[in-house]
């Protein structure tokens, strides 16, 4: 199972999309800190679709790349981390 790519390793188009979704979904600094703490654990993720529920938002990805942020009530595809 791969780990999640570092921000600088994520393709520019995906980084731009994530930045837009952070703004659209009103992801707060406190939320981003939860994400940072989780990423520091160097989690592994499946090659296919996955998601991580942080309570106030969800991070969804595929393989090593995070792909989008969802609001708490939005359904996520893939394996829950």
Domain total for the chain? 1
Per-residue model confidence (pLDDT) at position 71: 94
Predicted TM-score (pTM) of the model is 0.90
Task: Give CA–CA dist 29/1, Å, rounded.
Answer: 29
Tens of pLDDT, residues 54-75 = 999 999 999 999 999 999 999 9
Question: Which residue has tokens 């995070």?
Answer: 66
Give pLDDT tens digits for 12-36. 999 999 999 999 999 999 999 999 9
Domain that holds residue 16: 7-80
Residue 1 domain flag: no
Residue-level pLDDT at 75: 94
Whether 2 maps to a domain, the answer reads no
Residue 51 placed within a domain: yes
User: Residue 17 domain-assigned?
Assistant: yes
């Amino acid at each position: 199972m791969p780990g999640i790519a570092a921000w600088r390793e994520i393709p520019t188009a995906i980084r731009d999309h994530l930045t837009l979704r952070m703004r659209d979904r009103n992801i707060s600094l406190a939320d981003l800190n939860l994400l940072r703490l989780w990423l520091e654990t160097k989690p592994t993720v499946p090659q296919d679709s996955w998601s991580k529920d942080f309570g106030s938002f969800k991070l969804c990805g595929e393989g090593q790349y995070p792909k989008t942020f969802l609001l708490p009530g939005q359904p996520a595809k893939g394996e829950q981390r």
